[in-house]
Amino acid sequence: MEFLHGILPYIQIVLSVMLIITVLLQQTGASLGGAFGADNFSSGFHTRRGLEKTLFYATIAIGILFALSALVNLIY
């Protein structure tokens, strides 16, 4: 149990950096005009394919792992 308590902060740091990187690498379809009320519906909805889809699922998986590590850190 001490081993988990000692290594868990490092796991959370690595997961948080990975989560930040995957979020920043994702492309957004929203442009600046969408913030001011312009019609932005056509560029916001598209099908993810290839690397974009893999990156999307990786972001979800890393987010879940980070949340679980935070929960484990809270419990122990």
pLDDT for position 21: 97
Tell whether the model's pLDDT for residue 42 goes beyond 90: no
Rounded Cα–Cα distance for residues 16 and 74 (Å): 16
- Average pLDDT over the chain, rounded to whole? 85
2-19 residue pLDDT tens: 888 899 999 999 999 999
Please give the full DSSP string across 10-61, using - where no structure is assigned.
HHHHHHHHHHHHHHHHS-----GGGGGT---HHHH-----THHHHHHHHHHH
- Contact between 59 and 22 under an 8 Å Cβ cutoff? The reply is yes
